[in-house]
Structure 1
């Protein structure tokens, strides 16, 4: 069960990735979490991320390939927000990384902006909260550790618009690539309405996974 979750920032991919990971007991691989861990180790990656740019394909592929090679990925995995580009998608195919499901999360620009600007993150775990839609038990504190929540430096309007512009360009190429793969019966490709309730989306994903090609 190898699943790719695609979608613009703020569409809820991370939330669903964690839920599906728990249900099916497969690892949730978030490129965002992997890269944020690299910020403390690599000044180059830190500068790229904080400027709102995307980390190079070569760096991301190297990190993802290393993670997928670990033993817990043998029965399946979830890739949250990867691949981001057509180059990465083709590189995965070249590396013979099989994909069973590609789920694209769609949400209006206005809703994305509202979600992103109100987002608060527990950086160590990647747990995400929102000042309006998903408040922590104690304001500004992670529910599990009690540690302070933070606003990611790339969660602001100017950087968000830059990220959305890049995503829109890459989405068209990725969509065409995976629709072609779907037509060849190599995987399932489905669009998810990210505006629905969390539990509704989870239920629909479970339904997609339970059905045969």
Structure 2
């Protein structure tokens, strides 16, 4: 089961990814985590990524896809994986499709979390306030100005990724504002139907 979770920051992708990991025994692949791991392990792709980051530049799609390519060869990803936060652009989606196709693999389903932005911003502000009230440090991503910037970046870059997968008949939109258990149930329905196709 190879899945992609699409949606803006704060939409609940991380929570649902954890549930998918537990249910299916497949890893969640976060490009940020994989990038750090490849750099730490000193792999070829990791060394290239390090050189780019040291120069203060953004890591190219080619490098990110190379890191995903390396990671899905690991034994724990043989049964599948959950990609969260990637692909962020249509060129990344194209590169991912090409790389998987060369391995005789494909994405089984793309789940798009649809959200009400105003409610989402309120949710993040509430989470930050609750964290602060407990005397804990607020996650950098939960600071309203950072969150709003990430939301704008998501809209600018990632909005075209949904239609890309809709054309391929594997995009499933769900209400990301529904209660957590309801979102999980809806994802289960989608995956059951995808497995039967």
TM-score range, shorter chain: 0.7 to 0.9
Name the CA distance, whole Å, in 1 between partners of 2:55 and 2:179: 35
Q: Is the CA contact (8 Å cut-off) linking 1:9 and 1:116 kept in structure 2?
A: no
Offset, 1:116: 3.1
TM-score (norm 2): 0.77
Structure 1 residue ranges without an equivalent (≥5): 121-129, 133-138, 141-148, 183-187
Offset, 1:81: 1.7
Offset, 1:13: 0.2
Matching residue within 158, 177, 182 for 1:200: 182
Q: Is the CA contact (8 Å cut-off) linking 1:27 and 1:76 kept in structure 2?
A: yes
**Deviation per CA, 1:96-124, whole angstroms, max 9, x where unpaired?**
2510000001111122223334557xxxx
Offset, 1:38: 7.8
Offset, 1:3: 0.6
Q: Is the CA contact (8 Å cut-off) linking 1:35 and 1:45 kept in structure 2?
A: no
From the superposition, tell whether residues 193 and 209 of structure 1 become closer, same or farther in structure 2 (CA, over 3 Å): same
Give the aligned partner of residue 148 of structure 2: 161
The count of residues paired between Structure 1 and Structure 2 equals: 183
Name the CA distance, whole Å, in 1 between partners of 2:127 and 2:32: 15
Matching residue within 81, 85, 92 for 2:89: 85
Q: Is the CA contact (8 Å cut-off) linking 1:107 and 1:194 kept in structure 2?
A: yes
Q: Is the CA contact (8 Å cut-off) linking 1:38 and 1:45 kept in structure 2?
A: no
TM-score (norm 1): 0.72
Structure 2 residue ranges without an equivalent (≥5): 42-49
Q: Is the CA contact (8 Å cut-off) linking 2:52 and 2:58 kept in structure 1?
A: no
Name the CA distance, whole Å, in 2 between partners of 1:164 and 1:181: 26
> Quick check: 61-70 or 93-102, which moved more?
61-70
Name the CA distance, whole Å, in 2 between partners of 1:84 and 1:7: 10
> Quick check: 149-158 or 203-212, which moved more?
149-158
Instruction: Looking at secondary structure, tell me which structure has more helix per residue.
Output: 2
Q: Is the CA contact (8 Å cut-off) linking 2:34 and 2:71 kept in structure 1?
A: no
1:209 matched to 2:175? The reply is no
Aligned counterparts, 1:1-213, within 5 A:
1-35=1-35, 45=53, 56-95=60-99, 96=101, 97-119=105-127, 131=130, 139=134, 150-182=137-169, 188-211=170-193, 212-213=196-197
Offset, 1:154: 3.8
Q: RMSD over aligned Cα, in angstroms? A: 3.3
